[in-house]
């Protein structure tokens, strides 16, 4: 029971780490980016290549996965995404689906279409019992620790720092923000890049838990969208709570009710969207 | 003052004449359908491909109704197509052998499904709609996967044996009967759709797309109009799915897959939205392109489809679709 809860929390933390960038670009900047999962996949594959083929230690590969995905995100934002911020939603949908298709078959072509696994350090497969109630895996504990620290950092960065204030201003009203001397393009580019990098880190950390293959961006697309839609767009707390709920519901749903488990999350999402179309934690006056 | 006097009757007459002009059958349309008819006689070795084009064209036509006329972006339209597929398969397996009766039943089933889900879809913003349609599509795909006794699961539904068409024609392996059947169904449904969009009702749906607030201000029930068009489109998609099952005697999970909804969006965008022919022309172009790409890179053709999508958005839909028209006008202007 508690073990399930623990695994669900680890799963939810991963979903949060991957989706938090999306909650800014989609939730705040109103850019429908269905290709967000592709950045997570990029991080995962960077780790696989570094660890398995080049023998880089797992913990050294994680930051590289972050920077690699962030760099890809930055390049794509500067060259392609910048043209579609103001396009109609239909164009954004088509554009990002196109990117997903390219990422999926490109990855399949380069690295094979089968599922890949990261050679994790031995000690991460260690499990220990706590009073016989809870069986804690070191790997999941690591995920929870890393994601927890990052979530806290992000919330502080957005709420307390100068850059966070600039981002909030740029999102609320780009024109006025420009008038105040904020370099809106730069703020968006940095945000997009960091969001992609975090997704990449999530993909790298979670490659083992989520399962990594070229269909990753489509398989988890709905999950990331749920986190954003249910979490709303007021800071990082909403998406975090949404991701944790989703993770716990999904893991225990599939465990206790294997027949209907896969449906629960979709039903929950539809119900939530009908009940509160702006998400559970929406901000008054926000867009 | 009499010169500028408001003449209500004359204004109404003028507006009616203008609407009538738009709705008139154009020469290009007659040429289009004659070409379709000619394909039956001259492209005998392409029947199987053409059959797919006709079915996909009908499917894209149904998306055009909600996207091009209603303005609803859907990422889960394959849901209705897939339900149509499986419903037709089940009907054929368990009693209703006649294909045409099957079509009517499938249309009724998918229309009911469309009506029921329209209330979920019509709430909220574009994003909510995209997510809800996506979720409904994934949900149905998962359902079909979990009910192997009914759908055959991952192996697909086998042993579908549709009866004789009109009690006389058997579906042959060359796809002749299949193509003619699909083409006639497409034509009939197209004519109905054409009547529908040029009726006052159809014009009011266009008005809803242009501006929901103003449309409701002049007394048109916005939600009611969209519910109707969504229901009709669902029935069309269901019929397209049923045609696929009946003419290929097979239904698999692929019909509910996400890429089918995404491809469909691409097909409609290639052909152009909001003039009914876009779906059919797009389906033809898509199949030709897909065939061409698949011959030199059978595994990774999706990459090129993705590239086309990205290029389409970055260069601009209007510019690419408008290019042939622009060249045509230049040529005529020069002559």
Whose structure tokens read 């679709």?
B321
CATH number of the domain bearing residue B120: 1.10.3470
Q: Under a CB-based contact definition with an 8 Å cutoff, are residues A197 and A69 in contact? A: yes
Best of A32, A84, A101, A279 to mutate (most B CBs within 10 Å, chain B): A101
- Are A97 and A34 within 8 A, CB to CB? yes
In a domain, B331, yes or no: no
**pLDDT at residue A234, as a whole number:** 63
Q: Specify the number of domains making up chain B.
A: 1
The pLDDT value recorded for residue B4 is 60
**CA A26 to CA A89: how far, in whole Å?**
11
How far A205 CA lies from chain B's nearest CA (Å)? 26
Q: Can you give the pTM of this predicted structure? A: 0.85
**Is-contact B246 B102, C-beta < 8 A?**
yes
CATH of the domain at A226: 1.10.3470
> Looking at the domain assignment, is residue B25 inside a domain?
no
Partner-chain contact A32 B302, CB within 8 Å: no
Q: What is the pLDDT of residue A132?
A: 67
A–B CB contacts, 8 A cutoff, strictly below = 120
Q: Residue A154: inside a domain, yes or no?
A: yes
Which pLDDT does position A70 carry in this prediction?
94
> Which residues of chain B have a CB within 8 Å of the CB of A83?
314
Tell whether A284 is covered by a domain: no
Nearest to A90 by CA among B214, B312, B80: B312
Tracing tokens 């009517």 back to the chain, one arrives at: B104
Give the DSSP letter string of B186-225.
HHHHHHHHHHHHTSHHHHHHHHHHH-HHHHHHTT--HHHH
Q: Do B142 and A262 touch (CB under 8 A)?
A: yes
Q: Which residues of chain B have pLDDT under 70?
A: 1-5, 124, 317-322, 333-335
Helices (H), chain A: 2-22, 36-48, 54, 58-79, 89-111, 138-160, 162-172, 174-179, 184-210, 216-219, 221-231, 237-256, 261-275
Q: Is residue B313 within 8 angstroms of chain A, CB to CB?
A: yes
**B171 in any annotated domain:** yes
- The total number of structural domains in chain A stands at 1
Chain A touched by B67 (CB under 8 Å): yes
Q: Which domain holds residue A55?
A: 2-275
| Beta-bridge partner residues of B165 | B169
Residue A68 lies in a domain: yes
Ramachandran assignment for B156, one of left (phi > 0), alpha (psi -120 to 50 degrees), beta (any other): left
Residues of B in contact with A226 (CB under 8 A): 131
> Residue A105 and residue B299: Cβ atoms within 8 Å?
yes
Tell me if B39 sits within 8 A of B95, measured CB to CB: no
Segments in chain A below pLDDT 50:
284-287
Neighbouring C-alpha atoms within 13 Å toward the C-beta of B81: 27
In angstroms, the CA A36 to CA A47 distance is 18
Q: How far is CA B262 from CA A179, B56, B134, in A?
A: 40, 13, 10
Q: Can you give the residue range of the structural domain that contains B220?
A: 45-296
- Residues of chain A found within 8 Å of residue B127, distances taken between Cβ atoms: 26, 30, 32, 89, 229
Would you state the pLDDT for residue B334? 59
Q: Is position A134 within any domain?
A: yes
Residue B237 lies in a domain: yes
Domain-located, residue A99: yes
Residue where the block lists tokens 């070191």: A138
CA distance, residue A81 to nearest chain B CA (Å)? 9
Distance of residue A273 Cα from the nearest chain B Cα, in angstroms? 7
Nearest beta carbon to residue B310 from set A99, A104, A222: A99
């Amino acid at each position: 029971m508690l073990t399930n809860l623990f695994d669900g929390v680890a799963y939810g933390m991963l979903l949060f780490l991957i989706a938090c960038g999306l909650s800014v670009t989609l939730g705040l900047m109103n850019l429908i980016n269905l290709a967000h999962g592709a950045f997570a996949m990029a991080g995962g594959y960077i780790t696989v290549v570094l660890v398995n083929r080049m023998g880089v230690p797992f913990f050294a590969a994680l930051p590289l996965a972050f920077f690699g995905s962030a760099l890809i995100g930055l390049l794509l934002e500067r060259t392609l995404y910048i043209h579609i911020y103001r396009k109609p939603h239909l164009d954004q949908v088509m554009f990002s689906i196109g990117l997903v298709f390219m990422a999926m078959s490109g990855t399949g072509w380069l690295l094979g279409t089968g599922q890949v696994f990261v050679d994790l350090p031995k000690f991460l497969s260690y499990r220990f019992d706590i009073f016989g109630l809870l069986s804690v895996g070191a790997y999941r504990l690591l995920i929870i620790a890393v994601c927890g620290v990052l979530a806290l950092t992000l919330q502080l960065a957005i709420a307390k720092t100068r850059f966070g204030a600039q981002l909030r201003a740029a999102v609320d009203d780009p024109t006025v923000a420009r008038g105040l001397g904020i370099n809106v393009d730069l703020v968006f580019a940095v945000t997009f890049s960091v969001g992609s990098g975090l997704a990449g880190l999530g993909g790298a950390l979670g490659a083992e838990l989520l399962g990594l293959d070229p269909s990753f961006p489509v398989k988890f697309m709905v999950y990331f969208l749920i986190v954003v839609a249910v979490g709303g767009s007021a800071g990082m707390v909403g998406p975090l709570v949404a991701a944790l709920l989703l993770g716990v519901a999904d893991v225990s749903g599939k465990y206790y009710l294997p027949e209907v488990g896969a449906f629960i999350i979709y039903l929950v999402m539809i119900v939530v969207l009908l009940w509160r179309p702006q998400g559970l934690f929406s901000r008054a006056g926000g867009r | 003052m009499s010169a500028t006097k408001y003449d209500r009757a004359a204004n109404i007459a003028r507006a009616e004449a203008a609407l009538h002009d738009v709705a008139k059958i154009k020469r290009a349309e007659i040429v289009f359908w004659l070409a379709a008819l000619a394909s039956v006689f001259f492209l005998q070795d392409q029947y199987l491909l053409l059959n797919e084009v006709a079915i996909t064209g009908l499917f894209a036509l149904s998306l055009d109704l909600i996207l091009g006329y209603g303005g609803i972006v859907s990422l889960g339209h394959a849901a209705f197509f897939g339900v149509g597929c499986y419903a037709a398969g089940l009907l054929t397996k368990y009693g209703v052998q006649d294909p045409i009766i099957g079509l009517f039943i499938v249309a009724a089933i998918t229309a009911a499904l469309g009506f029921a889900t329209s209330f979920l879809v019509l709430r909220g913003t574009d994003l909510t709609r995209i997510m809800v349609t996506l979720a409904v599509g994934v949900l149905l795909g998962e359902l079909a996967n979990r009910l192997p006794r009914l759908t055959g699961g991952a192996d697909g539904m086998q042993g579908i044996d549709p009866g004789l068409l009109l009690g006389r024609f058997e579906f042959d392996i060359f796809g002749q009967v299949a193509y003619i059947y699909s083409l006639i169904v497409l034509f009939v449904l197209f004519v109905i759709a054409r009547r529908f969009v040029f009726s006052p009702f159809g014009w009011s749906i266009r008005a809803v797309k242009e501006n929901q607030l103003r449309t409701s201000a002049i007394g048109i029930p916005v939600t009611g109009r969209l519910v109707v068009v969504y229901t009709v489109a669902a029935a069309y998609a269901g019929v397209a799915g049923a045609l696929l099952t009946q003419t290929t005697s097979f239904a698999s999970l692929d019909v509910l897959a996400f890429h089918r909804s995404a491809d469909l969006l691409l097909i409609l965008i290639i052909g152009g939205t909001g003039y009914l022919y876009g779906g059919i022309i797009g389906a033809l172009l898509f199949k030709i392109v897909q065939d061409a790409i698949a011959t030199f890179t059978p595994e990774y053709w999706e990459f090129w489809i993705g590239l086309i999508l990205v290029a389409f958005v970055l260069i601009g839909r209007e510019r690419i679709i408008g290019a042939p028209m622009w060249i045509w006008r230049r040529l005529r202007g020069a002559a």
